């Protein structure tokens, strides 16, 4: 999967975190991303191309998470729904499990309901 991801990112902009990561870190990101994508209820409906795109984009998303992002995710996993800091700064979180990159969220919408399915 690493060679496929490297080929994918060769044709994509803004991949510095991928480009600057070791193969070990890339493989770890791909494994975590694959586990996250595999947990989606729509994964069996995805085309191979969309599945690979989801895994690759999610791996990059994970590599791009900074310390502040990881802290937010940790707080959300602990059930924090809102945080306020004196001075008027506040954040509200939608707690719905794993944080997915924009590409994966788009693919979830694409595959959520198929023609002929009952809602």
Please, what are the averages of pLDDT over each run of 10 residues along the chain (119 residues)?
97 96 98 96 95 98 93 81 81 76 93 68
Secondary structure (3-state) at 88: coil
pTM: 0.83
Instruction: Centre a 10 Å sphere on the Cβ of residue 44 and count the other Cβ atoms it contains.
Output: 9
Residue 53 falls in which region: left (phi positive, over 0), alpha (psi -120 to 50) or beta: alpha
Domain coordinates in residue numbering, the chain: 2-112
Among 46, 51, 45, which residue's Cα sits nearest to residue 33?
51
pLDDT at residue 27, rounded to an integer: 98
pLDDT at residue 76, rounded to an integer: 79
pLDDT at residue 37, rounded to an integer: 97
Instruction: Centre a 10 Å sphere on the Cβ of residue 87 and count the other Cβ atoms it contains.
Output: 6
Secondary structure (3-state) at 91: strand
pLDDT at residue 116, rounded to an integer: 60
pLDDT at residue 88, rounded to an integer: 78
């Amino acid at each position: 999967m690493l060679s496929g991801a490297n080929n994918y990112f060769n044709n994509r902009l803004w991949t510095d975190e991928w480009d600057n990561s070791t193969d070990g870190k890339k493989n770890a990101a791909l494994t975590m991303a694959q586990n996250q994508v595999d947990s989606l209820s729509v994964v069996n409906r995805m085309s191979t191309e969309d599945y690979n795109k989801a895994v690759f984009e999610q791996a990059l998303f994970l590599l791009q998470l900074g310390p502040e992002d990881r802290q937010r995710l940790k707080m959300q996993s602990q059930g924090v729904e809102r945080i306020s800091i004196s001075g008027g700064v506040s954040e509200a979180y939608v707690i719905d499990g794993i944080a997915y990159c924009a590409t994966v969220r788009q693919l979830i919408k694409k595959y959520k309901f198929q023609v002929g399915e009952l809602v």
